[in-house]
Amino acid sequence: MNTLPGYLRQAGTALRFLLLATVVLGLIYPLAIFGIGQAVAPFQANGSIVRDASGKPAASALIAQVSANDAGIQNPLWFHARPSAAKWDPGASTASNLGPNDPKLLDAIKANRAAVAAAEGVKESDVPADAVTASGSGLDPQISVAYARLQVPRVAKAHGLSPETVQAMVDRRTVTGLEAFLGQPSVNVTELNLDVAAAAVK
Amino acid sequence: MVFSIASFVTQVAVLLLLLILVHKPLGVYLASVFEGKKSTRVERLFYRWSGVDPNTEQRWSIYLRSVLVFSAVSILLVFLLQRLQGVLPGNNSLPGVDPWTAMNTAISFATNTNWQTYTPETTMGIFAQMCLLAVQNFLSAAVGIVVVVALIRGIARTRTDRLGNFWVDLARTSFRVLLPMAALAAIVMVIGGVVQNFWSTDVVNQATGVTQTIPGGPVASQEAIKILGTNGGGYFNANSSHPFENPNVFISMFEVFLILLIPSALPYAYGRMVGDQRQGYTIVGVMGTLWLTSTVLMGWAVAGAAGTATAAAGGLGEGFEQRFGAAQSSIFATATTLTSTGAINVAHDSLPPLAGGVAMVNMMLGEVAPGGTGSGLYGLLILAIVSVFIAGLMVGRTPEFLGKKIGPREMKLAAMYILVTPVVVLATAGITVLLPDAMANAPASGPHQFSEVLYAFTSGANNNGSAFAGITTSGPYLSTIMGIAMLLGRYLPIVLVLALAGSMAKQPKIPASSGTVPTHGWLFGSLLLSVTVIMTALSYFPALALGPLAEGLLK
């Protein structure tokens, strides 16, 4: 049986099997999930796009949206997201992939710490870890509650709002309850900045 | 980044409880699929169109030939169509994939490794993702399962040279097991926030002036089978760290559950098919003990937050996503490396040194706790055969396993199985370390550079697919040697397993005597556990000492 014709016949079977399976698993299945997704949860299925007051797509609630210059310095008007090895480009997700003892990582963290401390006007020792470390995706929209609190005075001043008002906005965008227990309390910067913009316009 | 012990304990307890609840009904269902005699009308049509005679059973050599021919055809087709991407529809304006990358990727997805030497966002269009890679996610997972089914039949059957029909087993596993489960999982994922569309969305923030192109794609349908089939190749470069693949901690927990689901239910199906449920419980008990031990070790190593850069940051953070927290990420990192998954929700390269070491050891165990779909169970069954051999030596009797004699032929096959993967890992990593040009692709310095290389070949030969991703493997040399490691690490063990299945099926069943070592219960479970750990330690300790252990001990 282990002859060349045997192999060729099986290769023919394999090819036909594979092509038929591709129709089912590669076309019908994803299209069915697409149909169900659009019917059941269109907001999530299309990327959790949040719209501005005029109804135009403004951001994805799941993706960091950062106003930064070419050097990667984030705009002081807004809440800052975590450092990103992807420069917050939604089309180029990546981590730094630097080892825990890597001198390049050590330098980057020290530089980030100095920059955050200067931007917020606080001591370097007050800067939390998430503010100086790049996320796994480069698109993490969440920051720690501590890092958000650090930024409240700067953002409030920039928009002529009271720190209490801005802190209330932070609290509203803070993950709580079971989700915070299983994960950790964190604040969505993308949505928070949209809230700040809406409040500042009034 | 906080490592919450309360969250860690809760998540582990919830996972264990869910898996214990589900493994029996799922195991019963799996056994009924594998033992079923009838084909549905759609399946009969499918067999007719593919030229399969569903009523013919195959000898082990023909079963094996079918596995190999099917895999070879898959690799060739996936390679060719990637090369032709530029002229095919659904390419998102991307050109044909570079030949080295296309070769590496075709092998990677057909072998259930899903090592990604490419950056998905800039390499693969929707057609390649959906019709090539996601399809292989189903089929490579199914191939692993049908191989263990053939082994179980070899153990259960007597005086026959027939092990079943590969094509029927493959179709049933794909369409009756993986497809409905993946569809359910994908729907849960979409509701939880995973994307499933066919377009990107341009967004403009009027206040900040930022414009972005938010990517889209059939992500949920691919994510579901990527996780369920212990594949691990991400739709996006950041894999399950990407918010669109893994939007929150609940979905992340769900993904861990799905990774462990089929591999931990297969032992129940095994017990049912050999007619002795205690056999299945002992196997799953060993898997569970290893999983729990490794998860706790990983949690301990992550919580320790060692490393000079980590210390400078004031704690964990680099490579972590804020929404998961360190507890969830350590549980994920354990599950993904104890199975052949290799999806990641934290950058393994940036984990504390000993945590990265735990991830490597998990793969070096042969991914048996609970392991890849099918491959985990056949790996542990081979270790069980080695264990009865060792026990047989102690009591001076010819070893037997469920009434089948473990003679010289069976023992040679099992011993070769144990040796194949470590030899491939250490040889490919060893050769690479000697080539300065190749080592330049791992930019780290000191022990961490060696760790990146060791991790890559451990991951490749064990068909895991996760990486210390600082290493770049897209050039001709590394693409090729990784391809070789993945091929040998997948198909040599399969050859040995099916040969073993063939020689066990031929034997009559000998009744248990007073000299028979029972292959169930605490005593045998402990022996199996010790054999698994000792084999791994003997094979890999020197390599581990040069990489993660050295880095973990350096101050």
Mutate to test the interface with B, among A130, A155, A178, A201 (most CBs of B within 10 A): A130
Does the beta-carbon distance from B65 to A6 stay under 8 Å?
yes
Question: Which chain A residue's Cα is nearest to B130?
Answer: A26
Mutate to test the interface with B, among A46, A112, A135, A202 (most CBs of B within 10 A): A135
Task: Evaluate whether B222 touches B137 at the Cβ level (below 8 Å).
Answer: yes
Task: Evaluate whether A17 touches B170 at the Cβ level (below 8 Å).
Answer: yes
A vs B: CB pairs below 8 A: 380
Asked whether residue B554 carries a pLDDT value surpassing 80, the answer given is: no
Mutate to test the interface with A, among B94, B126, B318, B468 (most CBs of A within 10 A): B318
For range A7-20, the mean pLDDT? 95
Residue A21 contacts by C-beta under 8 Å, 6 or more apart in sequence?
B135, B138, B139, B171, B174
CA distance A115 to chain B (A): 13
- Contacts B46 to A, Cβ<8 Å: 20
Task: Evaluate whether B510 touches B400 at the Cβ level (below 8 Å).
Answer: yes
Q: Smallest Cβ distance to A17: which of B50, B202, B222?
A: B50
Does the beta-carbon distance from A16 to B195 stay under 8 Å?
no
Does the beta-carbon distance from A129 to B237 stay under 8 Å?
no
Tell me, what's the pLDDT at B396? Answer: 84
CA distance B454 to B128: 30
Asked whether residue A1 carries a pLDDT value surpassing 70, the answer given is: no
- Contacts A11 to B, Cβ<8 Å: 69, 72-73
Residue A160 contacts by C-beta under 8 Å, 6 or more apart in sequence?
A200
CA distance A163 to chain B (A): 20
Q: What is the DSSP letter of B115?
A: -
Pick from A74, A71, A195, A186: nearest CA to A140: A186
How crowded is the C-beta side of B243, counted as CA atoms within 13 Å? 28
Torsion of CA B17, B19, B22, B27, to 10 degrees: -140
pLDDT tens column, A27-64? 999 999 999 999 999 999 999 999 988 899 999 999 99
Task: Evaluate whether B113 touches B337 at the Cβ level (below 8 Å).
Answer: no
For range B132-142, the mean pLDDT? 98
- Contacts A141 to B, Cβ<8 Å: 243
Specify the long-range contacts of residues B213-216, CB closer than 8 Å, at least 24 apart.
B213/A90, B213/A91, B214/A47, B214/A49, B214/A57, B214/A60, B214/A63, B214/A90, B215/A47, B215/A90, B215/A91, B215/B121, B215/B244, B216/A46, B216/A47
The whole-model pTM stands at 0.97
Question: Which chain B residue's Cα is nearest to A15?
Answer: B73
Pick from B421, B414, B364, B408: nearest CA to B385: B414
Tell me, what's the pLDDT at B3? Answer: 94
Asked whether residue B409 carries a pLDDT value surpassing 80, the answer given is: yes
Does the beta-carbon distance from B210 to A20 stay under 8 Å?
no
- Contacts A30 to B, Cβ<8 Å: 130, 134, 196, 218, 221-222
CA distance A54 to B153: 65
Q: What is the DSSP letter of B319?
A: T
Question: Which chain B residue's Cα is nearest to A26?
Answer: B131
- E strands within B15-65? none
Q: Smallest Cβ distance to A137: which of B131, B241, B325?
A: B241
Q: Smallest Cβ distance to A133: which of B65, B313, B328?
A: B313
Question: Which chain A residue's Cα is nearest to B78?
Answer: A18
Does the beta-carbon distance from B74 to A128 stay under 8 Å?
no
Task: Evaluate whether A139 touches A90 at the Cβ level (below 8 Å).
Answer: yes
Token reading at B165: 């029909």
Question: Which chain A residue's Cα is nearest to B218?
Answer: A30
- Contacts A15 to B, Cβ<8 Å: 73, 77
pLDDT tens column, B474-503? 899 999 999 999 999 999 999 999 999 999
Pick from B34, B69, B270: nearest CA to B172: B34
pLDDT tens column, B329-341? 999 999 999 999 9
Q: How far apart are the first and last CA of chain A?
A: 82
SS3 B368: coil
Q: pLDDT-based confidence at B193, cuts 50/70/90?
A: very high
- Contacts B242 to A, Cβ<8 Å: 93, 137, 139
Quick one: angle between helices B219-228 and B249-273, nearest 10?
Answer: 40
pLDDT tens column, B358-399? 999 999 999 999 999 999 999 999 999 999 999 988 888 889
Provide the ipTM: 0.96
Pick from B322, B107, B86, B124: nearest CA to B236: B124
Tell me, what's the pLDDT at B462? Answer: 97
Q: pLDDT-based confidence at A2, cuts 50/70/90?
A: low
Residue B383 contacts by C-beta under 8 Å, 6 or more apart in sequence?
B366, B368, B418, B528, B531, B532, B535
Region of B29 (left: φ > 0; alpha: ψ -120 to 50; beta: rest) is alpha
Task: Evaluate whether B279 touches B528 at the Cβ level (below 8 Å).
Answer: no
SS3 A187: strand
CA distance B481 to B460: 10
- Contacts B325 to A, Cβ<8 Å: 182-184
Question: Within 10 Å of residue B307's Cβ, how many Cβ atoms?
Answer: 28
Of residues B555 and A176, the one with the higher pLDDT is A176
Mutate to test the interface with B, among A60, A77, A97 (most CBs of B within 10 A): A97
- Contacts A78 to B, Cβ<8 Å: 208
Whats the size of chain B, residue-wise? 555
Tell me, what's the pLDDT at B555? Answer: 56
Task: Evaluate whether B469 touches B493 at the Cβ level (below 8 Å).
Answer: no
User: What would you measure as the largest C-alpha separation in chain B, in angstroms?
Assistant: 82
For range B303-327, the mean pLDDT? 96
Q: pLDDT-based confidence at A202, cuts 50/70/90?
A: low
Residue given tokens 């248990």 in the structure block: B512
Token reading at B376: 């985990």
Tell me, what's the pLDDT at B514? Answer: 81
CA distance B438 to chain A (A): 18
Does the beta-carbon distance from A184 to B138 stay under 8 Å?
no
Does the beta-carbon distance from A7 to B218 stay under 8 Å?
no
pLDDT tens column, B235-276? 999 999 999 999 999 999 999 999 999 999 999 999 999 999
Q: pLDDT-based confidence at A67, cuts 50/70/90?
A: very high
CA distance B15 to B17: 5
- Contacts A132 to B, Cβ<8 Å: 313-314, 317
Task: Evaluate whether B344 touches B336 at the Cβ level (below 8 Å).
Answer: yes
